[in-house]
Amino acid sequence: MPTPDRADARVPAVSAWYAGLIRWGFARFYREFAWTYDTVAALVSGGQWAAWGRAALPYVAGETLGLGCGTGKLQRALVQAGQRPFGLDAS
């Protein structure tokens, strides 16, 4: 059984490995597999993802800036509601 000192020494290595794995996974999801984003969001939210976005529409007026706007579905809904959205997304 490792001593506490040796176990503590492994924690940063495991943390770095895990952080790298998470970065790799998110890079794949938001780049190569970006086309699956809306479907995955709908599945993990129990079908509520679009409704959550639409819930904000009554509170938005005029020009808006969406940072991290993803696939632009909320911006499209804003245009249909007569608003002028601008969106910026790095993915």
What one-character-per-residue DSSP string does the chain give? ---HHHHHHHHHHHHHHHHHHHHHHHHHHHTTTGGGHHHHHHHHTTT-HHHHHHTTGGG--SEEEEET-TTSHHHHHHHHTT-EEEEE---
In the chain, where the domains are located = 1-32, 35-91
Global model pTM greater than 0.85 = no
Q: What pLDDT score was predicted for residue 4? A: 58
pLDDT reported for residue 53: 84
pLDDT tens, residue order, the chain (91 aa) = 555 556 555 667 778 889 999 999 888 887 888 888 888 888 999 989 889 888 988 888 888 898 988 888 889 999 998 999 999 988 7
pLDDT of 24 reads: 92
Q: What is the pLDDT of residue 21?
A: 92
